Amino acid sequence: MRITTLIVIAVILIAIIGVAIVIELAPMYQSSKKVLRVGTSPDFPPFEYIDNKTGEVVGIDIDLVKALAKKLGYDVQIIQMDFDGLIPALINKQIDIIASGMTITNERAQVVAFTIPYWRSDQAIVVRRGSSFKPMGLDDLVGRTVGVQSGTTAQDLLQKYVNSTGKQINIKIYTSYVLAVQDLENGNVDAVVIDSPVASMFERIRNVNITAVIPTNESYGLAVRKEDTALLNQLNNALKEFLNTTDWQAILQKYLGV
Ligand code: GLN
């Protein structure tokens, strides 16, 4: 074989390898935007829930976090998990933000950083529609079976009541509020304790009624890792601005009809 033929073959081989490498690496460079992985527990309408028609996660929190990310130049990936898994997942870096109607508490603020509040809530007691059982407060839940979602402020409220009074409430813990409300409809629990705005939504869409609201004066915030101070500042600035826009009003209109 002549030397020129060898050179031609070598050049062709190098070109093929070069093209292959470019094709292999291209996806990594396709989007220059950084992706924010958003963790949520979609059993909490109207803040996060699964749209029956599309199967997608939607809600106030989802639209809010997407709007903030867009403002800040991030792409968003929504990752579903149980509510009690959100803080561990954030700390273990499986997600970058929690957007899940999460109440800002001192206990949680020891391990994660919260943004400024964007919503407030109390706790509500919910029973089966038409039930003769009409609890007006925690005292009326004594001796009853009451459903809550694992890791929530509602679970905390009941536990603290039981611990401080020494009275007995059979607290039934669910991985999701959708399952708790389903069990309430099916007669397997006497009541469910849940955030008041979500109780109002369940009252509209399920066979349940609110009998009492317990003023707990909670505020929802988004959460990030404590060390992600730059992201926290970005989110806070964007959130402060966004809460005064008609875009925020449009999100509320869409999910609350107000
Ligand atoms: N706001 C309540 C909490 O933070 C409940 C949140 C939820 O169930 N998604 O514990």
- What is the set of domains in the chain, with CATH numbers? 34-118+221-256 (3.40.190.10), 121-218 (3.40.190.10)
Closest CA to 126 of 105, 103, 149, 104: 149
Residue 218 phi/psi, 5-degree rounding, is -95, 155
- Token reading at 98: 């929690």
What pLDDT was estimated at residue 8? 73
> How far is Cα 2 from Cα 198, in angstroms, rounded to an integer?
80
Contact between 62 and 99 under an 8 Å Cβ cutoff? The reply is: yes
Ligand 1 contacts CB of residue 153 (under 6 A): yes
CA of 205 to the centre of ligand 1 (A): 19
- What's the pTM? 0.87
Alpha-carbon Rg of the chain, whole angstroms? 24
> What pLDDT is stored for residue 33 in this prediction?
80
Ligand 1 atom index nearest CA of 48: 9
Q: How confident is the model at residue 219, as a pLDDT?
A: 98
CA pair distance 114, 18, nearest whole angstrom: 47
**Helices (H), strands (E): how many in the chain?**
9, 13
Q: Is 40 in the pocket of ligand 1 (CB under 6 A)?
A: no
Please work out, in degrees rounded to the nearest 5, the angle formed at the alpha carbon of residue 213 by the alpha carbons of 185 and 202.
35
Q: Which residue numbers in the chain have pLDDT < 50?
A: none
List, for residues 166-225, the tens digit of each pLDDT value.
Answer: 999 999 999 999 999 999 999 999 999 999 999 999 999 999 999 999 999 999 999 999
Say how many Å lie between the CA of residue 121 and the centre of ligand 1: 10
pLDDT for res 10? 73
Q: Is the CB of 178 under 6 A from ligand 1?
A: no
Amino acid symbol at 45: P
pLDDT for the residue numbered 29: 55
Instruction: Establish whether residue 211 lines the binding site of ligand 1, counting it when its CB lies within 6 angstroms of any ligand atom.
Output: no
Residue type, 134: K
